[in-house]
Amino acid sequence: MKPKIYLIGGSRFNAEALLSFLREDNAEWLRTAGATEAEEMVEVSGRICYMSFGAKQSPRSNADYIRNLIDQGHESVLEHVSWTFLLTGVSRAFTHQLVRHRIGFSFSQLSQQYHEETAATFVEPAHLMLSPGALAAWHNAMAVSKESYNVILDSLKELNGSPGLALQEKEFKRAIRSAARSVLPNATETKIVVTANARSLRHFFDVRGSIPGDVEMREVASELFRLVQTEAPALFSDFALTTLPDETPILSRT
Ligand SMILES: Cc1cc2nc3c(=O)[nH]c(=O)nc-3n(C[C@H](O)[C@H](O)[C@H](O)COP(=O)(O)OP(=O)(O)OC[C@H]3O[C@@H](n4cnc5c(N)ncnc54)[C@H](O)[C@@H]3O)c2cc1C
């Protein structure tokens, strides 16, 4: 199972509203043809800081303007654009690392208390396939874990209403699923909605995109990069996506 990422949302730039503001201020904005909504949002946010419109606007293109913002460390301007992604086919081990990113990220993840994992699937780590013995041990552990999950759930369901489990239905389910999920492994497949702004994504790409031994992380970082690069190439033009000799992707600064 491979990570699959859907871009399900993003910031809109309301050019009409901005132009209306500029008309009222008797200012003009020389727009770069072909700049995307996200790129224009960042450019305009930067220009507002200096009101560099009209005579005060330099002949820089949108891409050059954004490059200069980044080079100068004026990166808070990049926080005005964000995207929302749905990640599926990723492991809980991966999402545990992902949710450590506290700034400029928001998360909504599949619950193992509200969602029963009787049909759980597992994300096979890269490199396991290199060893038939390791692969067999892994498949065995997954099967035992899933079976144990179902045995625990079924056994505790039989105790519904007993003195130790006298809970209302919702809390009863939460209690028995909590007990059962404790045997599920890090490899359990999960789904998570992630919203991140451009500045935070750049930081994520920096610290997570090029770790040789973490294939799943590199795969997700690279796919996120592909998606946002289409949305706003100027915001990520200093990153390059290449592959390692084993054909897995790696994301690094140029
Ligand atoms: C190779 C690698 C190995 C790792 N190993 C471990 C590990 O063994 N154990 C472990 O627990 N974690 C580990 N991590 C996770 C790591 O410590 C971070 O929690 C994670 O990468 C998120 O990064 P961040 O804090 O920079 O991001 P964010 O939380 O998004 O923060 C972004 C930036 O905001 C600033 N910031 C955020 N919060 C604060 C704050 N409280 N005070 C001051 N500045 C702040 C910092 O500049 C930070 O870089 C590892 C990460 C990597 C990349």
Residue-level pLDDT at 70 = 97
pLDDT for 156-184, tens place per residue? 999 999 998 999 999 999 999 999 999 99
Residue-level pLDDT at 166 = 92
H or E segment and range at residue 50 = helix 37-50
Ligand 1 pocket, residue 48 CB under 6 Å: no
* Nearest protein Cα to ligand 1, atom 27: 101
pLDDT at 1 over 90: no
Arithmetic mean of pLDDT over the chain: 97
- CA atoms of 19 and 28, how far apart (whole Å): 8
204 C-alpha vs ligand 1 centroid, how far in Å? 10
Of 31, 208, 218, 226, which residue is the catalytic one?
Answer: 208
Closest CA to 39 of 20, 58, 61, 63: 63
Residue-level pLDDT at 141 = 98
Confidence class for position 67, pLDDT limits 50, 70, 90: very high
pLDDT for 198-251, tens place per residue? 999 999 999 999 999 999 999 999 999 999 999 999 999 999 999 999 999 999
Domain ranges of the chain: 1-112+186-254, 128-181
The CATH number of the structural domain formed by 1-112+186-254 is 3.30.70.3180
Can you tell me the mean pLDDT for 46-65? 94
Ligand 1 pocket, residue 213 CB under 6 Å: no
- CA atoms of 193 and 94, how far apart (whole Å): 14
Per-residue tokens: 53 = 């419109």
What share of the chain in percent tops pLDDT 70? 100
Can you tell me the mean pLDDT for 60-79? 97
Question: Any idea of the CA torsion for 84, 88, 90, 95, to the nearest 10 degrees?
Answer: 40
Per-residue tokens: 93 = 């081990």
Rounded to two decimals, the pTM is 0.96
Ligand 1 pocket, residue 161 CB under 6 Å: no
- Largest CA-CA distance found in the chain, in angstroms, rounded: 79
Per the CB < 8 A criterion, the answer to whether 212 and 244 are in contact is yes
* Nearest protein Cα to ligand 1, atom 18: 100
Q: Which atom of ligand 1 is nearest to the CA of 208?
A: 53
102 C-alpha vs ligand 1 centroid, how far in Å? 8
55 C-alpha vs ligand 1 centroid, how far in Å? 43
Is 208 noted as a catalytic residue in this protein?
Answer: yes
* Identity of the residue numbered 190: T
Instruction: Work out the number of other CB atoms within 10 angstroms of the CB of residue 35.
Output: 21
- CA atoms of 85 and 224, how far apart (whole Å): 8
H or E segment and range at residue 227 = helix 215-231
* Nearest protein Cα to ligand 1, atom 14: 97
pLDDT for 91-147, tens place per residue? 999 999 999 999 999 999 999 999 999 999 999 999 999 999 999 999 999 999 999
Residue-level pLDDT at 136 = 98
Per the CB < 8 A criterion, the answer to whether 68 and 96 are in contact is no
Mutate to test the pocket of ligand 1, among 102, 195, 201, 250 (most ligand atoms within 8 A of CB): 102
Q: Is 236 left (phi over 0), alpha (psi -120 to 50) or beta?
A: alpha
